[in-house]
Chain A
Amino acid sequence: MSSLLTQEVPISWYLLLSAVLFSLGVAGFLIKRNLITVFMSIELMLNAVNLSFVTFAHQWHAVKGQIFVFFVMVVAAAEAAVGLAIIIAVFRARATLAVDRIDLMKL
């Protein structure tokens, strides 16, 4: 038990968690049929990447890693704002949030 309490976590576990979260995000992007949920999967992907950045920053004592995460967050915020505004505009035009129904770009 004491060993369990004092045991450290290998870096690779963090990275594996990040990889799994990322692939879950991609899977969600492919599976979900609601436009907003698809967008949420994208946010999930971004978070997964943030985790791996922080992990590497921890390992190598690199400040720039954490600063990058900071910038990713800023960009994700801006992107979320604009993306949701687009979703609202699409909803107004097409009256549907189903991904498969929004196919005006079909050849």
Chain B
Amino acid sequence: MSDDSVPLALPLLAAGTSEVTTLYRELRKPLLRYLVCLGLTSDEAQDVVQDAFLSLQRHLASDGTQENIRGWLFRVAHNQARNRQTSYHRRFSEPLDGEMDFLTDDATPEQAVLEKEKFRRLATGIRMLTESERECLLLRAGGLRYREIGEVLGIATSTVGDTVERAIKKLAEKCDV
């Protein structure tokens, strides 16, 4: 199945709500990236994304609010990921040192070495971050605004700003990126 393909169950349930399909094509990849970076496996992340969009369809069918759908989807996915992580006692994804060869197949040997080293330093810095800082950075990388991040994590917008700033400075200063 390609990245942008829509599972069979979704258009059937969302018949008449083509905006759900459009949202699926737009937000599936950012959601998957956020979930696997949180530590979920590929299968778990895809299950969570599927469940989140089914919940969105039910939410819209029951005349739920249509404001900030992106933040709503990330919040649902985040909560489901948290439940699964609690169930399996899983933490943030460890740096995939052994799998970086796959990522730099097309690069020259020098570029590959530099890229690996850069990722290694960043991974070291990510391990130093608090859970809240990691989540803020991941949601920010997913395109969410501070207000949306605050809604997902249940914290104030100003707190999000402070957390993001602290996390970026840690990565920049301690990891010398």
Is the A/B pair a real complex? no
The residues of A with any CB-CB pair to B shorter than 8 Å are none
The residues of B with any CB-CB pair to A shorter than 8 Å are none
